């Protein structure tokens, strides 16, 4: 009999029962909530006259709607203020801990979970946000849910789910200089497609993944959902354990040592069976940029854009639609394409290591005339660390705006939005039509260092020429 994968071990440990429908009633170890997808869930709960069953297993923060210019209350946007008040009232009434702007720990939900040590190996983690897959970087089974499911978790700490199949993705070799975790996940999605992962959990492994820092692994797992996989994870190892030691919510002393043994035990067995296996050569991954309207449409920065005629049948119409929307020319490389806005931040790339890499580039020049460039740290803790290292000054003196933490221009629910057909070099995760706040706005996804390079050049640039 073959061994078990992490997915199977964690799934089995959290199984309350098999439901008559054939699905699993799965216990959720950590539930994270925010202001956008929770207020309706609390209202449904009230309507059902149900209570929050495990308030100590849910944590809240505010990220999507919070402005990055002026976070003083009441918020200038009345609708945003109303959502903020609802979150405060709901969490207070239920006894749920809220990391608000006054706490010093506010930030994007997928940034603060890991940095506080709330996110741990072997957990099941759910949040009303598709990028919950991020937390899989620790060897947790973490996935996004809708508001009715947020209600279910509040009421029962459980969800009814079908067990996904597991696809092992080995990234071999070693990454070249100027190639980042963002490029790895863009390459994986390009290879497997935006729907290739539906029904799967992705297990990322191999020398390249093992060599990544925790923050880089978070970037990879974050975009699992962009490949259709609701969750993606990396097996816990020394990197994971070293990261967790001393975090505010991590166990301490002897308990940490006991935790370590359990965390290691949930890693996939060497002889685990997988429904599918894929291998990617890490040495061949180049700095990547998306050119279309889904995250699978990417190329190496110096590669020419595909001609629709040379694409497989099922990708051709999507490519034509993308070219129509983006106004880019097939057959030419993206290098040199003028950009209007540069955005560094988001749950994908708003952590301290991302800002350090962007700052390395920013030190080499100034933001090009006519380009608006903003840096939005992923959390208050990231902002504090950046300040300690003098990064805000590096960015400001190069002509970038340094902002307060939040989701910001990744999805533009706050005042940070593209205008008209502006083209944005962005370290975020989605290049969907209208995603960044203007119905006709356009997005080029890339690593934070590449965004910084684009800001200095005023056009898409190869970061390898700058570093």
Partner 1 sequence: MAHRIERVVGRACVLRGHDIDTDRILPARFLRSITFDGLGEHAFKDDRAQAKGDHPLDDERFAGANVLLVGLNFGCGSSREHAPQSLMRCGFEAFVGGSFAEIFAGNCTALGLPCLVLEMRDLDTLMNAVDARPEQQVVVDVRARTVTCDVGTFPATIPEGTREQLLEGSWHGTAVLLEVGEEIERTAARLPYVSGFREADR
Query: Any contact of residue 31 with partner 1 (CB under 8 A)?
Result: no
Give the integer Cα–Cα distance in Å for 191 and 186.
Answer: 9
Binder to partner 1 among 119, 130, 290, 427 (CB under 8 A)?
Answer: 130
- Which token pair is 337? 């394409």
Query: Any contact of residue 19 with partner 1 (CB under 8 A)?
Result: yes
Query: Any contact of residue 120 with partner 1 (CB under 8 A)?
Result: yes
- Residue nearer to partner 1 on the CB measure, 156 or 385: 156
CB-based contact 259:389 (threshold 8 Å): no
From the CB of 28, what's the least distance to partner 1, in Å?
A: 10
- Which token pair is 176? 């070249």
CB-based contact 368:336 (threshold 8 Å): no
Q: Per-residue contact track with partner 1, 202 to 221, x per CB under 8 A?
A: --------------------
Binder to partner 1 among 105, 151, 167, 217 (CB under 8 A)?
Answer: 151
Tell me which residues in 326-355 interact with partner 1 (CB under 8 A).
none
The backbone torsions φ and ψ at residue 181, rounded to the nearest 5 degrees and listed phi first, read: -55, -35
Longest dimension (CA), the chain: 64
Q: Which part of the chain contacts partner 1 (CB under 8 A), choosing from 45-53, 215-223, 391-399, 454-462?
A: 45-53
Tell me which residues in 234-293 interact with partner 1 (CB under 8 A).
251, 254-256, 258-259, 262
Q: Per-residue contact track with partner 1, 154 to 193, x per CB under 8 A?
A: -xxxxxxxx-------------------------------
Task: Compute the residue count for the chain.
Answer: 467
Residues 6 or more apart whose Cβ sits within 8 Å of residue 102? none
- Which token pair is 138? 């620790």
Cis omega (within 30 of 0) for bond into 74 = yes
Query: Any contact of residue 110 with partner 1 (CB under 8 A)?
Result: no
Tell me which residues in 386-445 interact with partner 1 (CB under 8 A).
411-413, 430, 432-435, 437, 439-440
Binder to partner 1 among 194, 241, 273, 368 (CB under 8 A)?
Answer: 194
Give the integer Cα–Cα distance in Å for 402 and 368.
Answer: 16
- Which token pair is 229? 């996989």
Q: Residue 329 has what DSSP assignment?
A: P
Residue with tokens 């040199």: 336
Q: Which of 309, 381, 300 is nearest to 106 (CA)?
A: 381
Binder to partner 1 among 237, 303, 321, 389 (CB under 8 A)?
Answer: 321
Q: Which part of the chain contacts partner 1 (CB under 8 A), choosing from 108-116, 153-161, 339-347, 359-367?
A: 153-161
Give the integer Cα–Cα distance in Å for 107 and 85.
Answer: 17
Give the integer Cα–Cα distance in Å for 226 and 385.
Answer: 29
From the CB of 16, what's the least distance to partner 1, in Å?
A: 5
- Residue nearer to partner 1 on the CB measure, 359 or 412: 412
- Residue nearer to partner 1 on the CB measure, 161 or 205: 161
From the CB of 347, what's the least distance to partner 1, in Å?
A: 12
């Amino acid at each position: 009999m073959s061994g078990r994968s992490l997915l199977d071990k964690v799934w089995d440990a959290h199984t309350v029962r098999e439901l008559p429908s054939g699905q699993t009633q799965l216990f959720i170890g950590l539930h994270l909530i925010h202001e956008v997808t929770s207020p309706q869930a609390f209202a449904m709960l009230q309507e059902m006259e149900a209570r929050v069953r495990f308030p100590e297993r849910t944590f809240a923060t505010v990220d999507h709607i919070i402005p990055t210019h002026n976070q003083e209350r009441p918020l200038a946007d009345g609708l945003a203020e109303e959502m903020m008040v609802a979150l405060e009232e709901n969490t207070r009434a239920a006894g749920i801990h809220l990391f608000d702007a006054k706490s010093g720990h506010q930030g994007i939900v997928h940034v603060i979970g890991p940095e506080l040590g709330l996110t741990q190996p072997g957990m099941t983690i759910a949040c009303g946000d598709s990028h919950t897959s991020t937390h899989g970087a620790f060897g947790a089974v973490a996935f996004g849910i809708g508001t009715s499911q947020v209600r279910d978790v509040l009421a029962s700490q459980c969800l009814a789910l079908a067990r996904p199949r597991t696809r092992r993705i080995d990234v071999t070799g070693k990454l070249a200089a100027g190639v980042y975790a963002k490029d790895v996940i863009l390459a994986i999605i390009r290879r497997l497609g935006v729907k290739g992962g539906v029904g799967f959990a992705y297990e990322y492994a191999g020398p390249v993944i093992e060599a990544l820092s925790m923050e880089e692994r978070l970037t990879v797992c974050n975009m699992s959902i962009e490949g259709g996989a609701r969750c993606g994870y990396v097996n816990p190892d020394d990197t994971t354990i070293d990261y967790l030691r001393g975090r505010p919510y991590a166990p301490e002393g002897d308990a940490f040592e006991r935790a370590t043994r359990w965390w290691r035990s949930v890693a996939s067995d060497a002889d685990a069976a997988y429904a599918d296996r894929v291998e990617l050569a890490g040495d061949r991954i180049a700095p990547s940029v998306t050119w279309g309207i889904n995250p699978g449409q990417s190329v190496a920065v110096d590669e020419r854009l595909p001609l629709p005629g040379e694409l497989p049948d099922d990708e051709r119409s999507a490519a034509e639609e993308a070219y129509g929307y983006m106004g880019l020319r097939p057959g030419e490389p993206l290098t040199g394409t003028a950009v209007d806005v540069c955005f560094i931040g988001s749950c994908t790339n708003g952590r301290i290591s991302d800002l350090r890499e962007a700052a390395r580039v920013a030190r080499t020049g100034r933001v090009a005339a006519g380009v608006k460039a903003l840096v939005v740290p992923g959390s208050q803790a990231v902002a504090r660390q950046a300040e300690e290292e003098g990064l805000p000054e590096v960015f400001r003196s190069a002509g970038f705006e340094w902002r307060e933490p939040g989701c910001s221009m990744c999805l533009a629910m706050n005042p940070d939005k593209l205008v008209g057909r502006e083209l944005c070099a962005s370290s975020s995760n989605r290049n969907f039509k209208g995603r960044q706040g203007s119905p006709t706005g356009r997005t080029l996804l890339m690593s934070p260092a590449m965004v910084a390079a684009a800001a200095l050049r005023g056009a898409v640039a190869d970061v390898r020429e700058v570093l």
